[in-house]
Amino acid sequence: MTVSEGPGGFTPGTVIYQIYPRSFLDTDGDGVGDLPGITAKLAYVASLGVDAVWLSPFFVSPMADFGYDVADYCDVDPVFGTLADFDALVAEAHRLGLKVVIDQVYCHTSDRHPWFEDSRAGRAGERADWYVWADAKPDGSPPNNWQSVFYGPAWSWDARRRQYYLHNFLPQQPQLNVHRAEVQDALLAVARFWLARGVDGFRLDALNFLMHGPALADNPPAGPGGARARPFDFQAHLHNQSHPAIPAFLERLRAEAEGFGGRFLVAEVPGEHALEEMRLYTRGPRRLHSAYSFDFLYAETLDAERVRAVLRQWPDGWPAYAFSNHDAPRAVSRWAQGRDELAYAKLILLLLACLRGHVFLYQGEELGLPQAEVPYDRLVDPEAKANWPATLGRDGARTPMPWRTEAPHAGFSTAEPWLPVDPRHVPLSVEAQEADPASTLAFTRHLLAFRRAAPALRSGDLRLHEGTADLLVFERGRGAARLVCVFNLGSSGLETGLQPGAWRLVFATPGLEINREAPARLDPCTGFVARPA
């Protein structure tokens, strides 16, 4: 993809700010964030220098999985507001020059969706085959050994149909049978509904779970090694996901997006075969524009060799990178490992901004927020409660955004929030950092302005230098316009290995002076970008 080929203004190198609506800003005093709260803070988001916002689900839902169990694809859940509120949000975003990307959850619905209620009513109805149903084995057990991501067996018995239904996640999230043309047509109608309302793109949730193997063959055991906290981790997922018919549906979706002047389509693709699937789903001009990499999101540590290995995976195409999101513990808490967290937050923000690809910035990342501590009695995430204490769960990344230092609940709400505000977040509030020119927030604004003005970072090539486990060096762009990006990811000083006098600093973490010769030695938790001297 070249810069001129970007859909709907999404040129390569776009920076997208993820908003988790439940936790951004509450304007109606119920302790849950809402769409008017997002609209009220879009000027703040635009001031960061990002190009777009991505909104996690705000659709009608019983909230078993906090919006990823959709009961009505084409309406706003009352806890978040109304369709009129959504339209006002889009209008304000566009006025500020921001694109709007929303989640689309096509793998499953809520068990309270009218489609599923129709389907479970009997085997002869119009939507009887819109979900994945199967008879019990002769002994009454589920039809195969598939496991769900969250809870054990991926099958639940339904007494009305006297069959099992498939759910790759919660039992309240029955799997759609997207092999059916009628289901595909219904999902594409959903896409058209939101595209017609002015949405600029979709983030497609858990896309490789879209279609299953219709033969319902057992999954084989996983190979040796690897962390296994859940039954799901004990299997090689050959048959419950990743069906080869998925790309054909993506081509239909891309055609719909092109019919609205070209809109941006990015896939979320988790799992052990994610790289191959991301390449498959973005191959050629008729499929998706980008894919959302998990290589950093679930990494417990960060070192230079890991970064080099990830970057080598994409010699062409255009990936999307994130270090934190609503499903993963915040990166600064995973990776700092005893080092100064605010210094480390600036270092990894610089690294993220220098990568070749689209950049996703998660709300609060610009503040350097650590992972929040949520007491067990305040946990609400079904995964966290099911797997506690073996996994951290997702609640600690979803706590309310801290806006004001002295206000109740850090200015997020006048009521007790749905998740508690971590006291460590309060002094890192937007209000406090707006007043501090040395803050992480100020650094983020300078950094994104620098990236926006540097074609080499937004769309240039990437060439890796040799390095050590702690020293990461790569170049972006070509010729006189190229830039070298250098990072010390370790805990002690390192020689940069750059030729003396060959480079001059144009951007750096605190403590390094701009427009000086690139240093021969770099302290830990520091990094810089330099141009040819």
Active site residue 205: yes
Share above pLDDT 90 across residues of the chain, in percent, rounded to a whole number: 90
Q: Which of 69, 111, 200, 205 is catalytic?
A: 205
DSSP assignment of 233-283: GGB--SSSS--TTHHHHHHHHHHHHHTTT--EEEEE--STTHHHHHHHHT-
Q: Give the pair of three-digit tokens for residue 419.
A: 């998740």
223 or 6: which leads in pLDDT? 223
Pairing type for strands 526-532 and 503-508 reads antiparallel
Greater pLDDT, 528 or 273: 528
The model's confidence at residue 9, banded by pLDDT at 50, 70 and 90, is low
Known active-site residue 416: no
- What number of other Cβ atoms are within 10 A of residue 426's Cβ? 18
- Pick from 387, 358, 369, 375: which is nearest to 330 by CA? 369
CA distances from 170 to 129, 180, 300, 390 (A): 20, 22, 25, 18
The segment with the largest mean pLDDT, out of 9-23, 33-47, 371-385, is: 33-47
**Which 3 state secondary structure label does DSSP give 336?**
coil
Q: Which of 85, 111, 268, 277 is catalytic?
A: 268
User: Strand 52-55 and strand 15-19: pairing?
Assistant: parallel
Q: Provide the pLDDT confidence category of residue 227 given band limits of 50, 70 and 90.
A: confident
What the chain holds in terms of domains, given with CATH numbers, is 3-109+181-213+245-450 (3.20.20.80), 462-532 (2.60.40.1180)
Write down the pLDDT at residue 5: 43
Q: What mean pLDDT do residues 82-88 have? A: 98
Q: Is the model's pTM score more than 0.85?
A: yes
Portion of the chain with pLDDT greater than 70, in percent:
98
Angle between helices 341-354 and 440-452 (to 10 degrees): 10
Q: Which contiguous run of DSSP H or E holds residue 473?
A: strand 471-476
Question: What pLDDT is recorded for position 6?
Answer: 58
